[in-house]
Structure 1
Amino acid sequence: MDDRVSPRKAAIAARVFDDGLLAEEAPLIGVIDTDALYSTINNLRASFPNFFTHAFAAKANTMPAVLDMIRRWGMACEVASPGEYQAAVQAGFTGGEIVFDSPAKTNWEIDAALSHGATLNIDNFQELARVDGWLAKKSSRSIIGLRINPQVGGGAIAAMSTATLSSKFGIGLEDGDNRQRLFDAYAARPWLTALHTHVGSQGCPLDLIAAGIAKTFNLAREINTRLGRKQITTVDIGGGLPVNFASEEVTPTFADYVAVLRQAVPDLFAGEFRIITEFGRAVLAKAGFILARVEYTKEQGGHPIAITHAGAQVATRTVFMPEMWKLRVSALDARGRPKSGAKIAQDVAGPCCFAGDVVAHARPLPLLEPGDFVMLHDTAAYYFSTPFVYNSLPAIPVYGISGADGALEVTELQKGGTLSF
Structure 2
Amino acid sequence: MTQTFSASGTPATPKYAHVVRRAIADGLLGSSQPVVGFLDPQGVRNSVDALREAFAGAPQVLHTFAAKASPLVPVLRLLASYGMGCEVASPGELRLAVDAGFAPSTIVLDSPAKTREEIRLALALGIAVNADSLDELRRIGTLRSSNSASVIGLRVNPQVGGGAIGAMSTATATSKFGVALRDPGARAAVVRAFAEHPWLTRLHSHVGSQGCPLDLLAAGVAETYRLAEEINAHLGERRITSLDIGGGLPVNFADDEVRPTHGDYVTALRTAVPDLFDGRYALVTEFGRSLLAKNGFIGALVEYTKDAGGRRIALTHAGAQTATRTVLMPGAWPLRVGAFGPDGQPKNGPLLAQDIAGPCCFAGDVVAYAQELPELREGDFVVLYDTGAYYFSAPWAYNSLPRPAVYGFRTTDGGDGHGGVRFAPVRDAQTLESIAAENGLGHADALVRLGGVNSDVHGEVGSAFA
Q: Which TM-score band applies after superposition, normalised by the shorter structure?
A: over 0.9
Letter in 2 for 1:35: Q
Q: Is structure 2 residue 342 aligned with structure 1 residue 329?
A: no
Q: Is structure 2 residue 295 aligned with structure 1 residue 287?
A: yes
Q: Is structure 2 residue 51 aligned with structure 1 residue 37?
A: no
Retained in 2: the 8 A contact 1:2–1:247? no
Q: CA deviation at 1:408?
A: 2.3
Match of 1:116? 125
Q: CA deviation at 1:215?
A: 0.3
Retained in 2: the 8 A contact 1:236–1:275? yes
- Please give the alpha-carbon distance, in whole angstroms, between the structure 1 residues aligned to 2:13 and 2:292: 17
Match of 2:276? 268
What is the correspondence of 1:19-418 to structure 2 with a 5 Å cutoff?
A: 19-49=26-56, 50-135=59-144, 139-403=147-411, 404-405=414-415, 406-418=419-431
Letter in 1 for 2:428: K
Letter in 1 for 2:374: P
Secondary structure of the corresponding residue to residue 379 of structure 2: coil
- Please give the alpha-carbon distance, in whole angstroms, between the structure 2 residues aligned to 1:189 and 1:304: 63
Letter in 2 for 1:294: V
Q: CA deviation at 1:6?
A: 5.0
Q: CA deviation at 1:302?
A: 1.4
Q: CA deviation at 1:23?
A: 2.8
Retained in 1: the 8 A contact 2:62–2:106? no
Letter in 2 for 1:93: F
Percent of aligned pairs with the same amino acid? 55
Q: CA deviation at 1:22?
A: 1.4
Letter in 1 for 2:151: I
User: Residues 148-185 of structure 1: CA distance to partner in whole angstroms, max 9, x if unpaired?
Assistant: 00000000000000000000000000111111111111
Compared CA separation, residues 2 and 217, structure 1 to 2 (3 A): farther
- Please give the alpha-carbon distance, in whole angstroms, between the structure 1 residues aligned to 2:285 and 2:426: 26
* More divergent stretch after superposition (6-15 vs 38-47): 6-15
Retained in 1: the 8 A contact 2:2–2:371? no
TM (norm. structure 1) is 0.98
- Please give the alpha-carbon distance, in whole angstroms, between the structure 1 residues aligned to 2:146 and 2:32: 53
Retained in 2: the 8 A contact 1:341–1:367? yes
Retained in 1: the 8 A contact 2:71–2:93? yes
Secondary structure of the corresponding residue to residue 352 of structure 2: strand
Poorly superposed stretches of 4+, deviation over 4 Å: 5-8
User: Residues 247-274 of structure 1: CA distance to partner in whole angstroms, max 9, x if unpaired?
Assistant: 0000001111111111111111111110
- Please give the alpha-carbon distance, in whole angstroms, between the structure 1 residues aligned to 2:15 and 2:365: 29
Letter in 2 for 1:253: T
- Please give the alpha-carbon distance, in whole angstroms, between the structure 2 residues aligned to 1:94 and 1:52: 16
User: Residues 97-125 of structure 1: CA distance to partner in whole angstroms, max 9, x if unpaired?
Assistant: 11000000000111111111111000001
* More divergent stretch after superposition (162-171 vs 86-95): 86-95
User: Residues 195-215 of structure 1: CA distance to partner in whole angstroms, max 9, x if unpaired?
Assistant: 000000100000000000000
Q: Is structure 2 residue 18 aligned with structure 1 residue 11?
A: yes
Q: CA deviation at 1:132?
A: 1.4
Retained in 2: the 8 A contact 1:327–1:378? yes
Q: CA deviation at 1:2?
A: 4.6
TM (norm. structure 2) is 0.88
Q: Give the aligned CA root-mean-square deviation in angstroms.
A: 1.2
What are the ranges of 5 or more consecutive residues in structure 2 without an aligned counterpart?
Answer: 5-11, 433-463
Retained in 1: the 8 A contact 2:13–2:346? no
- Please give the alpha-carbon distance, in whole angstroms, between the structure 1 residues aligned to 2:103 and 2:370: 48
Secondary structure of the corresponding residue to residue 48 of structure 2: helix
